[in-house]
Amino acid sequence: AQKVTQAQTEISVVEKEDVTLDCVYETRDTTYYLFWYKQPPSGELVFLIRRNSFDEQNEISGRYSWNFQKSTSSFNFTITASQVVDSAVYFCALSERYNQGGKLIFGQGTELSVKP
């Protein structure tokens, strides 16, 4: 069965600190997809990134970076120089495919609070 674990329920940092959100997944599939979504206080879900299981290159997008380690089944998310606007709940998710029926299996989410 597929499972996603986000062990950190809540994280609180001070603005400009770096913060890493952990995500560990379980799957028996050899091909799968990993995602991160952001849920700000307004409640909507914002897509951040998709990563394929066969592409272990790390990715950087501005202050955001993602570290995919297949050997440890982890897909961690780092925010550099955090800002108050980064305060949100962040969800990691797993799917056996990303189109045509790829239902997402979500972790419990990590609530990030960035204080000024």
16 or 97: whose CB is closer to another protein? 97
How far is it, in rounded angstroms, from Cα 99 to Cα 88?
26
54 or 71: whose CB is closer to another protein? 54
21 or 105: whose CB is closer to another protein? 105
Q: State whether residue 47 is helix, strand or coil.
A: strand
Contact between 64 and another protein by CB under 8 A: the answer reads no
Q: How far is CA 75 from CA 16, 52, 99, in A?
A: 22, 11, 20
**Across-strand partners of 107?**
none
Shortest distance (Å) from residue 91 CB to another protein: 6
* Chain positions contacting another protein, by CB under 8 A: 37, 43-47, 50, 91, 98-109
